[in-house]
Every structure is written in structure tokens, then in C-alpha cells.
């Protein structure tokens, strides 16, 4: 939680008296993903007068702020940054409502903004409301951020909680993994709605109190605003001290702890995902078993063809009510109006065939994933007692724990996967889908999307002179299915076509397009973690 909104909103007022009145003396980087800011009252011949240092780590896998008492600048491999801002006094330090950002405001309308968005942390330089410079220029989307639009007001009332379907994650997106894990441990899923709301309110009160705890979460040191996990040291009241102690603990992990913790984290993440998949498949099987079978509907239609009225052109009504001779009661059946009653029955027979295929796939998936659960649990049991780095690495060499690798090259605006040497790009949201399809996809790239539902645009980058292998199309289709509203379906139809047949006419909403000459492939939804990198 060291970059969480609730921590930053307490860090900002603690930094304010430390920085206001000081000037930005220099900013430099000695590492690709780190930079140092030096603030002081005055610049001496050799040193600065009463300096205050901020060291920012902005790696995709880890980011945060450290406030060391001293920093020795290297004589080589050190680069000066943002020199046009030197000697500008600090006039304010602030956080942003429901956002993981911290800003240091300088005279002259300049702002240094630390942005801690997931795996895309960065330092942005604003002049008034617009971005004029970046620390990590590869994060091109950061140039579109507007300073005055960063505050994110959220309706977090009981009424909004009701409207969200009692899903606290929609109302409190700033909670993060640690707080959500805390709520699960407190049994939020088992409580009634008023009990859930009371637990949420009590959690918010804890997050708003200036208390900080150094704990272990998911086998890594963590800075928490509540007593959760395995405590390393309890209770700091100064956020700067808490941040420094957290960094010391995180960086002080020995190699065995770090590699062992990462292996266990990946295994537990995969175990949780596999169990969730089993539950979803079981729910789908129950749903199929309890619902009226498509074959039964087709038989009812065929037995009552003479009772179904037809309009001119052998068209059917939208809904027909017939006698269900399986259950001895009336049943309402939806029909396709552009088909005859007999063709509608044939349509339900085809659906019945797919229903049987789906049932078989679901049962096979459950068996495979139950076996996977046993294997994952066995791996965790074998790794937990290991006390030798050599023994751990020997085991992991024989039993590698793979996590999907990101593709290289294209701007990291999208989820990226490599399969059999092909780059697959996945849109993150509706606006990001437009960016991917309209600006980063070329006419010969292959474009995919789950059929008839909202979801991510997926693009396979074209290789000159080569046709797209069927296996690559299948993998990309699995990803398109996973990143759509059909994620929990056992089978999902996915359309694909060269990007040149995808258009965005004027007036369509973000993410919406018109597709021509598409083909359809039927796949099982799978995410990156379930795919092996080629």
C-alpha cells in the first residue's frame, strides 16, 4: 500500500512542511528506472544547504518513494534531468482524490507529478494543465493526462452500493489487493448486505487513521494501513519513516526469500485462479442441468408445428406458448422471426448438439483443473520448507513456474503476449481499443473480438510474406474470449478478419467498430497465465 491512495493522502501533508520554501536544486538518474530529486534552501560551492532528498523507483514491477538522509551521486553514468526547473521554489505538495498520484508544485506554474498506476509508474512534468515532459517517454499515453482532471470523485454512499449490485470493488477501486484480501479474511462474502456495508465502513475508518504497519503480504514485505498479514514491525505514525522502513525491508530481502516468495506467489495465484475456474464450470454444469434442454424445446416445436402461426414469407412470431409434455405445463419459446417454425426447430437441434459438446468440455475441464490443483498444492508443499538457495533453484530448474512474458517492441499501452514468434496485442478498455485498432494496427494485421458481446480488441501483428498459423489464431481467439463478457463461458465464438475490413464510422461510441468479411472460430476462454510462451 506504499503507493495506494490512502497512503499518499497522508504522505502529502507530511511532505509539505519538509519541502515548502525549498528549491529544486537538481534532478538526476543513475539507473534506467530510478531518479533522485534534490531540494534545498541554497546552493553552496560544493554542497547544498540543508538538502532534502527524494529517491523515486519507477520500475514496472515495483515503484515508490524513499527519503534518504544523504545520497552520493556517481561521477559516471549519471544524467541530469529537467534542468529548466532548477531553482524553482516549492509552493505546495498534494495528493489527488481516489487516485495514486502525488504532486509537488513549483513556482511558475510547474508541477512534478509522481504517477503510480500499476505497472506504468512515471514522473510527469506539467506546465499549468498540460504535460511538457516525462521521465519514461515510452509511456506515450501519459502525455494525454490533464492535471486538473486527476481528482476522481466517487459516489460511495449506501445508495450507490445498492446500485452497484453490492459490489464494493466498484465503489472503492482504491482499496487494492491487500485491503480486498483483508475483507475476504473478515468474511465479507458470507455476510448479509448490511453486515458487508458495516465492515466496509469500519475498514475505511482504519484506512483514514494515521497508523502504518510493516507486514508480509503474498510473501513480500508490505506497508499496510491496517494490521493484516504477518507483522514485521508494528505501528509507525510518520509516513516518511514508514516508507523508509518499508524500502529497507523490501530491498533487504535475501535472495532465497525473494526467489522463494516469488515462486510461492505465482503458484498461489495460479491455484486461486484454477479453483475459481472449477467453480465457474460447476455452476455452468448445474445451470445446463437445471434448465430446459434445447433438444426438448426442439421436440416440443416439432410436435406442435401445426399450432404455430406463420406470417407471409413463412416467418415465425417472436414468442410462442406451447404445451411442455415433459413437465405437463405451458412453456414460452423464443423464435427467430426470419425463420419458419421448422427451421426454428432445426436451430434448437443444432444448439442441443453444441450443448452436449459444451457439457463434455466442461466435465473434461473440471477433471483437468482438479488434477492441476493437486499438482499446484504439491509444488507449494515442496517449496515451503526449502532453506537452501541451491536446492530451491535446482527444484525450479526441473519444475519451472512460467508466467506469460510480454512481447517486445510495440508501445506498452496494451497487454502484450508472444506466441510462436507472433506479437499479440490486447486492448485494455474502450478508448484503448480504439487506440489499438485505429493507430497501432495496420491493414494486414489480424483483428479479433468475441462475437456479440463487449470485450477487448485483439490484434496479431503481421509478418511479411507469412500467413497467420492456425495455432496462433486460436491462441489470440482464446485471449479475445477471456477479455470479454464471455469469460466464464465454456465455449465462445470469436470473429477475426484482416484489420483492413474493420472501420469506425463517425458517431460510433468508444470501442465500437463496423466489421466486414469476418470469419468465426469457437474457442475456450483462456488468459495469458494459462498459455505457454513459445
User: For the chain, what percent of residues have pLDDT higher than 70?
Assistant: 95
3-state DSSP assignment of residue 433? helix
Question: Do 440 and 417 meet the contact criterion of CB atoms below 8 Å apart?
Answer: no
Residues forming CATH 2.30.310.10 domain(s) in the chain: 5-149
* 235 phi/psi in degrees, rounded to 5: 60, 100
Q: What is the mean pLDDT of residues 381-387?
A: 89
In three-state secondary structure terms, 437 is: helix
Rounded to 5 degrees, what angle do the CA atoms 308, 314, 320 make?
25
Confidence check: pLDDT of 531 > 50: no
Residue 75 has pLDDT above 80, yes or no: no
Share of the chain above pLDDT 90, in %: 42
Using a 10 angstrom Cβ sphere, with 0-12 exposed, 13-18 middle and 19 or more buried, the burial of residue 272 is exposed
The average pLDDT across 403-413 equals 47
Sign of CA pseudo-dihedral 264, 486, 437, 113: negative
Label residue 292 by pLDDT band (50, 70, 90). confident
Please return the burial class of 222, using the count of CB atoms within 10 Å of its CB with bins 0-12, 13-18 and 19+. Answer: buried
Q: Which CATH superfamily is domain 5-149 in?
A: ibrinogen binding protein from staphylococcus aureus domain (2.30.310.10)
pLDDT value at residue 99: 92
Note the pLDDT tens digit of each residue in 230-269: 766 667 888 998 898 888 887 776 678 878 888 998 898 8
For the segment 331-339, the average pLDDT, to the nearest whole number, is: 89
413, pLDDT greater than 80: no
The confidence band for 410, taking pLDDT boundaries of 50, 70 and 90, is: very low
Beta strands in 13-160 (DSSP E): 23-31, 34-40, 42-43, 48-49, 52-58, 63-66, 79-80, 90-96, 99-106, 110-115, 122-127, 130-134
Mean pLDDT of 401-411: 49
Residue 119 has pLDDT above 90, yes or no: no
What is the distance between the alpha carbons of residues 379 and 240, in angstroms, rounded to a whole number?
39
Q: What is the mean pLDDT of residues 214-219?
A: 82
pLDDT per position as a tens digit, 310-324? 777 767 888 999 999
Show Cβ contacts of residue 410 under 8 Å, excluding neighbours closer than 6 positions: 416, 423, 425, 440, 461
Residue 31: pLDDT over 90: no
Quickly state the pLDDT bin for 412 (edges 50, 70, 90). Answer: low
Q: Are 488 and 408 in contact (CB under 8 A)?
A: no
Q: Please answer whether residues 450 and 484 qualify as being in contact, where contact means their C-beta atoms are separated by less than 8 angstroms.
A: yes
Res 29 pLDDT > 80: yes
Question: Is residue 239 within 8 Å of residue 7, measured between CB atoms?
Answer: yes
pLDDT at 216: 83
User: What sign does the dihedral 288-289-295-297 (CA atoms) show?
Assistant: negative
Cα three-residue angle 421-425-429, rounded to 5 degrees: 165
Q: What is the pLDDT of residue 403?
A: 57
What's the Cα-to-Cα distance from 336 to each of 226, 269, 309, 339, 502, rounded to whole Å?
56, 44, 13, 6, 28
Q: Is the pLDDT of residue 470 over 70?
A: yes
Q: Determine the Cα–Cα distance for residues 370 and 206; give it in Å rounded to an integer.
A: 39
Q: How confident is the model at residue 228, as a pLDDT?
A: 78
As a whole number, mean pLDDT of residues 215-228 equals: 82
* pLDDT surpassing 50 at residue 411: no
Task: Report how far apart, in Å, the C-alpha atoms of 220 and of each of 59, 109, 117, 379 are.
Answer: 16, 39, 19, 19
Cβ neighbors of 134 (< 8 A, separation 6 or more) are 122, 123, 124, 125, 142, 143
Question: In the beta sheet, which residues pair with residue 42?
Answer: 49
What per-residue confidence (pLDDT) applies to 234? 64
The highest-confidence range among 255-259, 402-406, 416-420, by mean pLDDT, is: 416-420
Q: How far apart are the first and last CA of the chain?
A: 35
Mean pLDDT of the region 354-382? 87
Mean pLDDT of 446-472: 93
CA distance to 225, 235, 304, 358, per residue, from 238 (Å): 12, 9, 77, 57
Average pLDDT over residues 360-372: 86
pLDDT-derived band at 399, boundaries 50, 70, 90: confident
Checking if the pLDDT of 30 tops 50, the result is yes
On average, the pLDDT of the chain sits at: 87
Q: Would you place residue 8 in the very low, low, confident or very high pLDDT band (cuts 50, 70, 90)?
A: very high
Phi/psi of residue 102, nearest 5 degrees = -135, 130
* Maximum pairwise Cα distance, the chain: 101
Task: Give the count of alpha carbons within 13 A of 204, CB side only.
Answer: 15
| C-alpha distance from residue 108 to each of 26, 85, 143, 146, 322 (Å) | 17, 9, 20, 17, 77
Q: Report the interhelical angle of 176-185 vs 193-207 (nearest 10°).
A: 130
How confident is the model over 132-152, as pLDDT tens digits?
A: 999 998 888 899 999 999 999
Q: Cα dist. 424→68, 155, 410, 430, 455 in Å?
A: 42, 37, 10, 18, 15
H/E stretch holding 497: strand 492-498
Q: Which of 365 and 82 is assigned the larger pLDDT? A: 82
The string of pLDDT tens digits covering residues 482-496 is: 999 988 787 889 999
Comparing 110-124, 171-185, 227-241, the range with the smallest average pLDDT is 227-241
Q: How far apart are CA 106 and CA 7, in angstroms?
A: 23
Please report which confidence band the pLDDT of residue 534 belongs to, taking 50, 70 and 90 as the band edges: very low
Q: Nearest 5°: phi and psi at 205?
A: -60, -40
Amino acid at each position: 500500500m506504499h503507493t495506494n491512495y490512502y497512503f499518499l493522502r497522508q504522505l502529502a501533508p507530511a511532505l509539505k512542511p519538509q519541502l515548502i520554501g525549498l528549491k529544486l536544486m537538481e534532478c538526476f538518474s543513475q539507473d534506467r528506472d530510478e531518479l533522485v530529486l534534490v531540494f534545498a534552501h541554497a546552493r553552496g560551492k560544493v554542497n547544498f544547504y540543508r538538502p532534502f532528498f527524494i529517491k523515486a523507483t519507477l520500475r514496472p514491477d515495483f515503484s515508490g518513494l524513499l527519503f534518504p538522509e544523504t545520497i552520493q551521486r556517481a561521477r559516471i553514468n549519471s544524467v541530469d534531468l529537467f534542468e529548466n526547473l532548477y531553482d524553482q521554489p516549492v509552493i505546495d505538495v498534494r495528493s489527488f482524490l481516489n487516485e495514486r498520484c502525488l504532486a509537488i508544485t513549483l513556482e511558475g506554474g510547474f508541477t512534478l507529478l509522481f504517477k503510480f498506476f500499476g505497472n506504468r509508474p512515471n514522473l510527469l512534468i506539467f506546465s499549468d494543465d498540460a504535460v511538457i515532459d516525462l521521465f519514461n517517454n515510452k509511456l506515450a499515453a501519459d502525455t494525454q493526462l490533464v492535471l486538473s482532471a486527476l481528482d476522481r470523485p466517487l459516489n460511495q454512499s449506501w445508495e450507490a452500493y445498492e446500485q452497484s449490485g453490492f459490489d464494493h470493488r466498484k465503489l472503492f477501486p482504491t482499496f487494492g489487493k491487500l485491503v480486498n484480501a483483508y475483507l475476504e479474511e473478515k468474511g465479507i462474502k458470507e455476510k448479509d448486505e448490511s453486515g458487508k456495508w458495516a465492515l466496509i465502513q469500519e475498514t475505511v475508518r482504519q484506512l483514514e487513521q494515521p497508523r502504518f504497519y510493516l507486514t508480509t503480504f503474498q510473501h513480500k514485505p508490505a506497508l499496510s494501513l491496517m494490521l493484516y498479514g504477518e507483522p514485521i514491525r508494528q505501528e509507525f505514525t510518520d509516513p516518511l519513516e514508514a516508507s523508509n522502513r518499508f524500502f529497507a525491508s523490501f530491498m533487504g530481502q535475501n535472495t532465497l526469500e525473494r526467489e522463494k516468495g516469488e515462486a510461492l506467489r505465482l503458484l498461489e495465484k495460479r491455484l486461486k485462479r484454477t479453483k475459481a475456474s472449477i467453480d465457474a464450470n460447476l455452476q455452468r454444469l448445474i445451470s445446463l442441468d437445471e434448465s430446459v434442454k434445447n433438444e426438448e424445446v426442439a421436440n416440443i416445436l416439432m410436435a406442435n408445428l401445426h399450432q404455430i402461426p406463420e406470417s407471409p414469407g413463412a416467418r415465425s412470431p417472436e414468442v410462442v406458448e406451447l404445451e411442455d409434455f415433459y413437465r405437463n405445463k405451458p412453456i414460452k419459446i423464443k423464435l427467430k422471426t426470419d425463420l419458419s417454425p421448422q427451421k426454428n426447430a432445426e436451430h434448437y437441434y443444432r444448439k442441443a448438439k453444441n450443448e452436449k459438446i459444451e457439457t463434455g468440455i466442461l466435465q473434461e475441464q473440471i477433471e483437468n483443473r482438479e488434477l492441476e490443483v493437486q499438482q499446484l498444492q504439491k509444488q507449494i508443499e515442496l517449496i515451503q520448507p526449502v532453506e537452501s538457495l541451491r536446492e530451491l533453484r535446482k527444484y525450479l530448474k526441473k519444475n519451472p513456474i512460467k508466467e506469460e512474458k510480454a512481447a517486445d517492441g510495440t508501445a506498452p499501452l496494451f497487454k502484450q503476449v508472444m506466441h510462436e514468434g507472433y506479437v499479440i496485442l490486447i486492448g485494455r478498455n474502450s478508448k484503448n481499443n480504439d487506440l489499438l485498432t485505429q493507430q497501432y494496427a495496420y491493414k494486414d494485421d489480424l483483428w479479433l473480438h468475441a462475437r456479440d458481446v463487449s470485450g477487448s480488441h485483439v490484434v496479431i501483428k503481421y509478418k511479411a510474406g507469412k500467413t497467420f498459423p492456425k495455432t496462433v489464431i486460436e491462441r489470440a481467439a482464446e485471449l479475445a474470449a477471456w477479455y470479454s463478457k464471455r469469460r466464464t463461458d465454456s465455449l465462445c465464438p470469436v470473429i477475426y478478419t484482416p484489420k483492413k475490413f474493420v472501420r469506425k464510422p463517425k458517431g460510433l461510441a468508444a470501442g465500437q467498430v463496423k466489421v466486414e468479411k469476418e470469419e468465426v472460430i469457437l474457442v475456450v476462454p483462456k488468459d495469458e497465465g494459462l498459455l505457454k510462451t513459445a
